[in-house]
Structure 1
Amino acid sequence: MIYAVLFEDDFARAVEVRRRFMPEHLAFLERHGDRILAAGPLCDPAGEPAGGLWLVDAEHAENVTALIESDPFWPAGLRRSHRILPWQRVFNQGQVLIPRPAGANKKPSPVAEGGS
């Protein structure tokens, strides 16, 4: 199963922790690339840091928690909180990956102008 992990960071510590631990964090991501499918920072509309996102392939959410807690950013105190949410890929690179509901391929019927 794929899980989305949403991180909220401790912004008061973020600059210093990232400066000190980024090389270790990136090496950690590489070592676990078979399970961490994608990872990166999130930004708000103004471009300011807003946490992070991972997509993780794991059998259980508990395995994801163990992975999070083994990331060098975790003991360094960067992460204020996290949410682990099951995620289902339904669309990828222009392809629908799930069966379409009955009638989903029908074009919408034109609306008559002027009403009745």
Structure 2
Amino acid sequence: MHYVVLFTDAPDADPDIRTTHMAAHLDFLERNADRVAAAGPLSDPAQAGRDGLWIVTADTPDLVTQLIHADPFWPTGLRASYAIIPWRRVFAAGSRLI
């Protein structure tokens, strides 16, 4: 099953958290590339990175939660919350999937 994970950053988080922990976060994503198909920050009107989005493949939402909590960003205080949303792909790589 596919899931979209939407992260909301803590408004009072240290602005250097992303930079400080980015290498470990990217290493984590690379180690979990079989489950995390895509990941990245969203942008505010000033084009500064904020919040985040993942597209994940997992059997259950609980496995997605475990993945989120294993991410080096999680214990830093960067993330205020997240939402795990089931997603059904109907179109990809220029083709219908249904």
Sort the Cα spacing of 1:16 and 1:64 in 2 relative to 1 into closer, same or farther, 3 A. Answer: same
Question: Is 1:37 aligned to 2:37, yes or no?
Answer: yes
Give 3-state SS (helix, strand or coil) of 2:16's partner: helix
Identify unmatched segments of 5+ residues in structure 2: none
Which letter maps to 2:28? F
Aligned to 1:80: 80
Sort the Cα spacing of 1:46 and 1:20 in 2 relative to 1 into closer, same or farther, 3 A. Answer: closer
Counterparts of 2:18 and 2:45, CA distance in 1: 21
Aligned to 1:112: none
Aligned to 2:90: 90
Q: Which has the higher strand share?
A: 2
Any residues of structure 2 matched to 1:1-116 within 5 Å, and which?
1-13=1-13, 15-98=15-98
Q: How large is the RMSD of aligned CA atoms in angstroms?
A: 1.3
Counterparts of 1:75 and 1:48, CA distance in 2: 22
Counterparts of 2:40 and 2:49, CA distance in 1: 11
Q: Which has the larger radius of gyration?
A: 1
Structure 1 moving runs of 4+ over 3 Å: none
